[in-house]
Amino acid sequence: MLAQSNNGSEQPVSRRNFLKNSGLVLGGLVVGGVAGSLLNRQQAPAPQVPGATPAPAADFNQALMFFTPEQFKVVDAACERIFPEDESGPGAKALGAAYFIDHQLAGDWGFNARDYMQGPFYPGEVTQGYQGRLKRREIFEIGIQEMNNYSNSTQKKRFYELTPEQQDAVLKAFESDEVKLTTISASAFFKMLRASTLEGIYSDPLYGGNKNMDGWKMRNYPGNQMAYTQVIEKDEFVKMAPLSLRDHQH
Amino acid sequence: MAKKLPKVDVVIVGVGWGGGIIASELTKQGLTVVGLERGKERKTEDYFMVHDELRYAMRYEMMQDLSKETITFRSKTSVRALPMRSYGSFLLGTGLGGSGVHWNGQTFRFLPYDFEIRSKTIERYGEKKIPDGMTIQDWGITYDQLEPYFDKFERMAGISGEENPLGGKRSQPYPTPPMKMTPSIKMFQEATKKKNLHPYMMPSANLSEAYTNPDGVSRAACQYCGYCERFGCEYGAKADPVVTVIPIAKKTGKFEIRTHSHVRRILHNGKKATGVMYTDVTTGEELEQPADIVVLTSYVFNNARLLLMSKLGRPYDPATGKGVIGKNYAYQVIRGGAVGFFDDKEFNLYAGAGALAMCLDDYNGDNFDHKDLNFIHGANISLSQLGLRPIANNKVPEGTPSWGKDFKAASLKYANRFLSVGAQGASMPFRHHFLDLDPTYKDVFGDPLIRITYDFEEQDRQLAAYCADKCGEIVKEMGATEKIEINKKLGPYDITPYQSTHNTGGVIMGASPDTSAVNNYLQMWDAENVFVVGASSFAHNSGYNPTGTMGALSYRAAEGILKYRKSGGGIIV
């Protein structure tokens, strides 16, 4: 039922589809010329699938503030495996979770701006929490590189070129610390990736994820409603169309 | 040198619940009061865009900026304390209203047993019941003495509730009726009544109906929007200092609030305080505010830290058990609980309020026999409906992977189909749990951070396991379909997962200067014109949220300050 409404509503052409349709193969090295042609082609009208509703206005939020295109592809693919598209609705990719993470890493959160980052730095007990000197954006950069390194060493491919099953195996190797890294903890990176994927799926769409509020729709979360006084005592489940902060009027 | 400002009657450090109550009570009696608040100004209009889980709940919009100041933590003295670099176990408030703005509003009175815990435990079980190292002591006040102040706080805040059948005697009912009941709360009520327990609606600072308090402040009813804890209330329906006591103090014309003013030292001559030194954080300028009376009303950690940094009072020494500042740090044992999954029911779990719950005290305090149990005290057990926000709530049955296809399917399926019954366990003090100044780590001014030395004890593990079983029995009775998870394991205290912002102790009250820092008016034994207000005065923490008791003690302290002012000096009795 929800999947239907997702298919029926305007599903904007995702960056992945655009790249696919535009015939660009981005498996190899990204060089200046390719990036240039990408920019040019993005301004062309989005190709339409026959029978689909007209494409909506461009989503100016879907551009990169921090990641390189290569880093973005790794994160986009990993997020999709963490929260894949299925019969209940879109996955992390269509919801824009990787754009969300990119935007977050570009700001305060990525710089650990409100965390205590003064030394001295000592390794602590697990119960004392993170004691490293690296910022979240640096952890992501290292983690993404290591995901590609591990994929290359085991499958001779980049992470996003692997089959979904192979990608899951890589993520599991990180989750379980089977991958041994020197600068960061593989499992801690995985945890951060998983947590920020969920944030990208379920935060208000103003942050670049949870596209069309589809993350909320899948779990019947009504988003930003002003009052539930009429609902709170009801025995039956009350389903309502979600509202975002943009809808906010009071 | 610090620039010296004109002297005032009273200076208060931190303008949250404690500061707001003290300011309103003293200015009503004509005293001039300056409130120094390190954070920014706040008002209800700030929360126009408050239904934002990412900004407020995940990125801690309302909390202290840890890059400027944090705490350090170690499990025991043989371990090196390290800074809490990001938030986890508890959240430190800042700004006008302090933690009183981002709270849930669960407003309890501690039990009569709490205030006389040592005497009553010995009376019923003998001295041997208290294990080696457990430093419980009577509070130097009884429930009956404190009752009028509880009532005063509840009337000011408009607490919505019904009588606790197992609580202390009340002089009058709550000012407003209990909140609305949800289907899940009714299930809890039925199940617990069937088990001959004593459920009651949780006393709530989220108003059940429009209310005008004795000061003439009118507030609207709660809308059950589901955004309380970590958020400010855009309706003013949740009682907080900014919508209750602070405007009353301001109306007198006697209360001046200076925000962005970070107090760094109490100035004193060894016997009495002469004022405080603070930094205007917008300019970096150091200022001296002289005052006849200094009232510390910041959070637990900063009350203790400011005294230690100012070398006022006798620092606690865990090796000898002597000294008082930093003593009896306690927390909350929050892990015991049970979760039930309901395949055949879907609840409106997105709706709720911070204190919308039903609870019981059959296993709290000394309301049950501990003769054959390996712990004292207990927990308030509750089923709450706070509003499940989607980033933080992705509960799946045990054995489900935490990501991927199966995770997605289960987390969507159960998003509105699980109920938790939780135990809020009391936390007993131990000789080796304390606060002192960290020798290594500094804040943004170069002042030492406060250091917490704390871990869970056998007492806590036994308590958590016992209460988890009780929660499990209730969930079973509520008819969860086969899947019930009982969380009995406490493990070591870990500062990373959120548990509770109910830190207590460090500047405790009591009947004697040998064992306590302040008397039962929260007046410092060692500096008669200094009052230290907050949960820092708790000699232990009960199986309840602390704000109700902390609010009552604030009114008591305000009365003490007025008495002190009138008597012209000395320790008040």
- Global ipTM: 0.95
Question: How many angstroms away from the CA of A167 is the closest CA of chain B?
Answer: 11
* Closest alpha carbon within chain A to B45: A250
Query: How confident is the model at residue A58, as a pLDDT?
Result: 85
- B406: which chain A residues are within 8 Å (Cβ-Cβ)? none
| CB atoms inside a 10 Å sphere around CB A50 | 4
Report in angstroms the alpha-carbon separations of B137 from A52, B338, B386: 73, 32, 34
pLDDT for the residue numbered B497 = 95
Catalytic residue among B102, B262, B433, B502: B502
What are the pLDDT digits (tens) for A143-166?
Answer: 999 999 999 999 999 999 999 999
Kindly report the nearest CA distance between residue A59 and chain B, in angstroms.
Answer: 21
The predicted-structure confidence for B191-220, as pLDDT tens digits, reads as follows 999 999 999 999 999 999 999 999 999 999
Of B48, B86, B412, the CB nearest to A219: B412
pLDDT reading at A85 higher than 80: yes
Which single residue is written with the structure tokens 């131990």?
B430
Residue ranges for chain B with pLDDT beneath 70: 481-482
Cβ within 8 Å, pair B67-A86: no
**pLDDT digits over B282-339, tens only?**
999 999 999 999 999 999 999 999 999 999 999 999 999 999 999 999 999 997 789 9
Indicate yes or no: CB of A221 within 8 angstroms of CB of B226: no
Beta strand pairing call for B71-74 and B82-83? antiparallel
Report the DSSP pairing between strands B33-36 and B8-13. parallel
SS3 content of chain A, % helix, strand, coil (to 5): 50, 0, 50
Residue A90: its pLDDT value, please? 98
Closest CA–CA distance from residue A56 to any residue of chain B (Å)? 26
Among partner residues A88, A116, A237, which is closest to B348 by beta-carbon distance?
A: A237
Both tokens assigned to B353: 């309020």
Nearest beta carbon to residue A115 from set B86, B221, B402: B86
- Contact between chains at B54 and A204 (C-beta distance less than 8 A): yes
Smallest Cβ distance to A127: which of B54, B65, B495?
Answer: B495
Quote the pLDDT of residue B529.
98
What is B3-567's CATH number, 3.50.50.60, 3.90.650.10, 3.40.50.300, 3.30.1360.120? 3.50.50.60
Res B30: pLDDT = 98
Treating both helix axes as pointing N-terminal to C-terminal, what angle do A97-106 and A186-202 enclose, rounded to 10 degrees? 110
By the 8 A CB rule, do A208 and A100 touch? Answer: yes
Q: Report the alpha-carbon distance of residue B454 to residue B435 in Å, rounded.
A: 9
What residues of A are in contact with residue B442 (Cβ under 8 Å)? 118
CA–CA dist A181, A143 (Å, integer): 9
Long-range contacts of A21-25 (CB under 8 A, 24+ apart): A21/A47, A22/A47
Do A245 and B49 make contact, defined as CB atoms within 8 angstroms? yes
Total domains, chain A: 1
Q: Is 60 exceeded by the pLDDT of residue A13?
A: no
Residues in A touching B496 (Cβ below 8 Å) = 127, 129-130
Name the 3-class secondary structure at B3.
Answer: strand
The burial of A111, by beta-carbon neighbours within 10 Å (0-12 exposed, 13-18 middle, 19 or more buried), is given as middle
Min Cα separation A120/chain B (Å): 8
Sign of the dihedral through C-alpha B302, B555, B255, B501: positive
Quick check: B266 and B302 in contact, CB under 8 A?
no
| pLDDT value for A76 | 98
For residues A21 and A168, what is the distance between their CA atoms, to the nearest angstrom? 26
Name the residue among B537, B424, B406 with its Cα closest to residue B140.
B537
Query: How would you class B284 by CB atoms within 10 Å of its CB: exposed for 0-12, middle for 13-18, buried for 19 or more?
Result: exposed
pLDDT above 70 covers a percentage of chain A that reads: 77
CA distance, residue B403 to nearest chain A CA (Å): 5
For B493, name the nearest residue in chain A, comparing CA atoms only.
Answer: A127
Residue B502 among the catalytic residues: yes
What separation in angstroms does the CA of A87 have from each of A65, B394, B514, B569? 32, 19, 68, 75
Q: Look at A229 and B223 and tell me if their CB atoms are within 8 Å.
A: yes
Q: Do A127 and B80 touch (CB under 8 A)?
A: no
First to last CA, chain A: 31
Q: Is B310 strand, coil or helix?
A: coil
Q: What is the DSSP track for A160-178?
A: GGS-HHHHHHHHHHHHTT-
Cα(A75)–Cα(A71) distance, integer angstroms: 6
**Domain encompassing residue A236:** 2-247
Peptide bond into A120 cis (omega under 30): yes
The verdict on a CB contact (< 8 Å) between B409 and A86 is yes
The verdict on a CB contact (< 8 Å) between A125 and B85 is no
In this predicted structure, the answer to whether residue A249 has a pLDDT above a threshold of 90 is no
Rounded alpha-carbon distances, angstroms, from residue B408 to A79, A81, B414:
12, 10, 10
For residue B209, the chain A residue with the least C-alpha distance is A229
- In the structure, what pLDDT confidence band is assigned to residue A53 with cuts at 50, 70 and 90? low
Domain boundaries, chain B: 3-567
Average pLDDT for residues A200-210, to the nearest whole number? 98
Q: How many CB atoms lie within 10 A of CB B557?
A: 28
pLDDT band at A250 (very low <50, low <70, confident <90, very high): very low
